[in-house]
Structure 1
Amino acid sequence: MKTQPSVFCLMFPLLLAPGARAEEAPAADATPIINPQVVDKLIDMGNYLRSLSKFQVDAEVTLDTVLETGQKIKSEASTTLKVLGHDRMYARTEGDVRTREFFYNGKKLTQYSPYLKYYTTVDAPPRVSETLHMIENHYGIQIPMEDLFLFGSDQAQIDALKEALYVGPSTIKGQLCDHLAFRQEGVDWQLWITRSEKPLPCKLVITTTDEQSFPEYSAVYHWNLKPGLQESMFTFKPAKGDVAIALKKAADQGGE
């Protein structure tokens, strides 16, 4: 069975450098068709997310899995992400396919399967952003909602955008948002951002356009910028019956 690419893999070519601003709008007969104000909204949101000293975000996630027959199967998941400073993080995803927890305390990263009672711990860099790159590149693991850390990471990737459009105002879970639409090779994606001094993502939809069935990923976010976070929640402590296993690098996993 084929699964849709991860959010990180789809979003990474779209990310923009911190503090950058969009180029002047192209001529009417030129491509790409990019509204610079839309790109600026994306940049501002990324800069704001990175400025937060702590936060908790919960999301309702749906993901299409494509069978070999071409039929789409939709799965549901609930995810949560808690961040303190730039060096502590806890994430959990619980859904139809699997349940995983991640603990990061600035020194170690642990992935835990609460139902299987397996866990694996590796040394990690001193910052969340560096740890996300390490766990993705070396082990092929995506942390739930990791794309929230990556908006605005590389100015050069603006060239991947073919369209950046303003759709209009929209209300998501009672929150007034601006609806933005983007297009790149093989991917269409939409982002709803709160219309306020605190630009937060309300919703994200990613559609893979280079597959005949057009599978989608969707996430609706709920934010808490003043969560009660304890230091202890970022360090994993095995309980009775938990078993430590080795974490294989992506190159040793046989492409699975």
Structure 2
Amino acid sequence: MTAKPRVFCLLLTLALLPAAHAEDPPAADDTPLVNPQVVDKLIDMGDYLRSLPKFQVEADVSRDTVLESGQKIKTESVNTLKVLNHERLYARSEGDVRTRELYYNGKQLTQYAPYLKYYTTVEAPPKLSDALHRFEDYYGIQVPLEDLFLFGSDQAQIDALKEAAYVGPSRINGQLCDHLAFRQEGTDWQLWITRAEKPLPCKLVITTTDSPSFPEYIAVYRWNLKPTLQESMFTFKPGKGDVAIPLKKVTAQAGQ
């Protein structure tokens, strides 16, 4: 008999509460989609990389290639990059598909296929950043690990970010890193940066989101900020059996 008044009181209390309607908007989230502190960490890391007088970095790279059938094929490569005073560069990529070496001495760029014994040399601008743009725009050559020169350097790229978030701490190769996540048109990418006075990238993951198969590029880095570098290692010297071939511009190839 005593339960009925309690039930009545409970129903009365519920009746007096404001009703929730399906059309009511959800509570506003004050968290910004682009976290300015995350963007600052990206810019600081890029500025630090560009301030280094010399460095050597190695990276294990995994890349998805999408076939016409839509199937993803994953290839692996080991990459090495040596840079001196941002005026000299040597790069090597040895992978499942091909192996290439690049030599840049501030005057010329040489691309060399060591197993095929072919090489090609073109004139190049004296500034490394200008040379990187010319290699890709004119000749379709992408320098291995060239992302390392570009982080946070272009305001247009920063403005293109739709999301920038801090994910949390993470360990890469035993090193404590901060995990950051970014989103822009057609691309999601994640970056792990060392939690130290010297902010270096530990890992990079790029996901192409405007493709139904969502192919990924993954690079895990190992750094040496005090490498032994000599001027001679940035100029290619052909060996016995090496054959010079011409390098055509991408535009000329497209026209054909």
TM-score, length-normalised on structure 1?
Answer: 0.87
Whether the 8 Å CA contact 1:65–1:72 is kept in 2: the answer is yes
Report how far residue 153 of structure 1 moved: 2.2
Report the count of equivalent residues: 229
Distance in 1, matches of 2:140 and 2:166, equals: 34
State, as a whole percentage, how many aligned pairs show the same letter: 78
Residue 248 of structure 1 corresponds to 248
Residue 73 of structure 1 corresponds to 73
Report how far residue 68 of structure 1 moved: 1.3
Residue 4 of structure 2 corresponds to none
The answer to whether the aligner puts 1:60 opposite 2:60 as a matched pair is yes
TM-score, length-normalised on structure 2?
Answer: 0.87
Equivalences for residues 1-256 of structure 1 within 5 A: 33-254=33-254
The residue identity in structure 1 corresponding to 2:133 is H
Select the structure with the greater relative contact order (CA < 8 A; seq sep ≥ 6).
Answer: 1
Report how far residue 253 of structure 1 moved: 2.1
Report how far residue 70 of structure 1 moved: 1.1
3-state secondary structure, aligned to 2:213 = coil
The residue identity in structure 2 corresponding to 1:242 is D
The residue identity in structure 1 corresponding to 2:237 is K
Distance in 2, matches of 1:172 and 1:128, equals: 29
Report how far residue 30 of structure 1 moved: 8.5
Cα offsets for 1:88-134 (capped at 9, x unmatched): 00000000111000001111110000011110101111121111011
Residue 10 of structure 1 corresponds to none
Distance in 1, matches of 2:29 and 2:124, equals: 48
Whether the 8 Å CA contact 1:77–1:93 is kept in 2: the answer is yes
Report how far residue 67 of structure 1 moved: 1.1
Report how far residue 29 of structure 1 moved: 6.1
Larger radius of gyration: 2
Whether the 8 Å CA contact 1:187–1:209 is kept in 2: the answer is yes
Report how far residue 31 of structure 1 moved: 10
